Amino acid sequence: MLPEKTNCLQGGAAVHDDIVDRRQYSLRVDKRALILGIESSCDETAAAIVRGGEELVSSVVASQIATHAPYGGVVPELASREHLRNLVPVTRAALAKAGLTYAEVDAIAVTNGPGLAGALLTGVSFAKSLAWALGKPLIAVNHIEGHIHAVLLEERQKGAGTLEFPVLALVVSGGHTHLFLADHQGDGWHYENIGHTRDDAAGEAFDKTAKLLGLGYPGGPIIDRIAKFGDPGAVQFTFAQLKHGARQESKRAGRIEPDRKRFDFSYSGIKTAVLRYVESHGMQDAIEARRRGLLQIAAPVDEDFKRLCDRQTLDLVASFQAAMVGDLTQRTMAACREYAVRTLLVTGGVAANSALRASFEQSARGSRVRVQFPSRQLSTDNAAMIAAAAYSKWISGEFAGLDVSAEANLQLR
Ligand code: KG4
Ligand code: ZN
């Protein structure tokens, strides 16, 4: 199947503070290209088939939570070993679910960064071998771009017509807390970073706080489910006022634009604040008892957490979540105002958080910003988002050579 070009843009002005951006990106596509996506950047081995950038045909995710849980975080060497074990069966399962053979796939897309170097390398090597053996094009995809396209894939699938510019994406996960203006020119997507975390990612703060409180791993989903039992106003957390040094000139659409305001985040301080609270309130013994208690339960349910957490802990958890959600929403909505954003995409593992979704929805209500999230399954790492992000590269023939490599610190542009 040959790539055709149909994605259309009306108008032409680039996003700029004083220019009203009236362009719309057509989400309607009529493509039959079958792209096999492969994802192995962190602790999920995933494969998926997406047709025409709009139809999720199959998606398989092998989680490594059980492997890493005893360590309270991802152990890179174990992650690579698990990927090696899982890549072939997961890919076969995705093809089988789709009722397809390797030969029927049109292109192989793979995450080549950012992420854990060894983990990325397993997926990239596997995808390169497949592309070479099958004689199919190889498409390298940035993991962060994948998270952004998880939302676009599902919007297309729902039959949404257009996406209004300017588009801002908050990618908030275990490894990233980034704000990108996303623009579509010609056949491709272009991104401008207007904010990122100066230290820990938001998901990392959730995971470290949960670990500190003896709640288990990964912490985000656990905090999400138990925060509703505590008082979010019990403990006050404050965030640093971040000073933005000399503003950088940014290069977009082949021309230098004037200063662009930045909206950075910082989440290492709140983790330290939780630690101080724990120490000053003598909570260590209760935490140790909880850790041991939860180790005895294979799949703890709400009642187990309630039984093993006293009121003070539940209040602390609720307050932590409320503070994180408040800061993420406030900074992102300030960026929306600054850049006259019309569409806000909130994506990445932390976008699965129910309080975060509610907070963005409430903040956007009555404003001109339309906020969109992926489904919960596509918020966390998966390969459907990689196959979806590869679609516009397929259209424009942006293929990777067999010398493409894993890049742990790959930037998104
Ligand atoms: O996108 P993802 O699967 O992997 C990375 O690219 O990092 O995100 C994983 C992160 C973890 O930190 C996890 O705790 C967090 O997303 N997470 C959540 C929730 N579900 C996953 N954080 C808060 N609330 C959730 N419901
Ligand atoms: Zn991710």
Please check the confidence at residue 8 and state whether its pLDDT lies above 60: no
Reported as a single tens digit per residue, the pLDDT across 220-252 is 999 999 999 999 999 999 998 787 654 454 445
| Pocket test residue of 147, 148, 206 for ligand 1, highest count of atoms within 8 A of CB | 206
Mean pLDDT, rounded, of the chain: 90
Nearest residue (by CA) to ligand 1, atom 23, is 220
Q: What residue spans in the chain does CATH classification 3.30.420.40 cover?
A: 28-161+377-396, 193-376
CATH architecture of the domain with range 28-161+377-396: 2-Layer Sandwich (3.30)
| Smallest-distance ligand from the CA of 141 | 2
Cα(380)–Cα(59) distance, rounded to whole angstroms? Answer: 13
Digit-coded pLDDT (tens) for 283-297: 999 999 999 999 999
Q: Which atom of ligand 1 is nearest to the CA of 147?
A: 1
Tell me which ligand sits closest to the C-alpha of residue 176: 1
pTM of the model: 0.90
Give the distance (Å) from ligand 1 centre to CA of residue 284: 26
The rounded Å distance from CA 349 to ligand 2 centre is 6
User: Residue 228: what pLDDT?
Assistant: 97
**Tell me: the pLDDT tens digits for 140-190?**
999 999 999 999 999 999 988 789 999 999 999 999 999 999 999 887 999
Please report which confidence band the pLDDT of residue 29 belongs to, taking 50, 70 and 90 as the band edges: low
Q: What is the pLDDT of residue 241?
A: 78
Average pLDDT over residues 95-114: 97
Q: Which residues surround ligand 2, an ion (CB under 5 A)?
A: 173, 381
Closest ligand 1 atom number to CA of residue 379: 1
For the CA of 352, the nearest atom of ligand 1: 26
Integer Cα distance of 11 and 8 in angstroms: 10
Q: Rounded to whole angstroms, how far apart are CA atoms 390 and 282?
A: 51
Q: What is the pLDDT of residue 120?
A: 98
Residue 218 and residue 232 in contact, taking contact as beta carbons nearer than 8 Å: no
Instruction: Give me ligand 2 centre to Cα 141, in Å.
Output: 12
At 185 the pLDDT is 87
Report whether pLDDT(14) > 60. Answer: no
pLDDT tens for 189-208 read: 999 999 999 999 999 999 99
- If 0-12 CB within 10 Å is exposed, 13-18 middle and 19+ buried, where does residue 229 land? middle
Q: Mapping DSSP to helix (H, G, I), strand (E, B) and coil, where does residue 230 land?
A: coil
Q: 26 pLDDT band (50/70/90 cuts)?
A: low
Specify the DSSP element, H or E, that contains 270.
helix 268-280
Kindly tell me if the per-residue pLDDT of 329 is higher than 80.
yes
Residue 31, pLDDT above cutoff 70: no
Specify the CATH superfamily of domain 193-376.
Answer: ATPase, nucleotide binding domain (3.30.420.40)
Calculate Rg over the CA atoms of the chain: 22
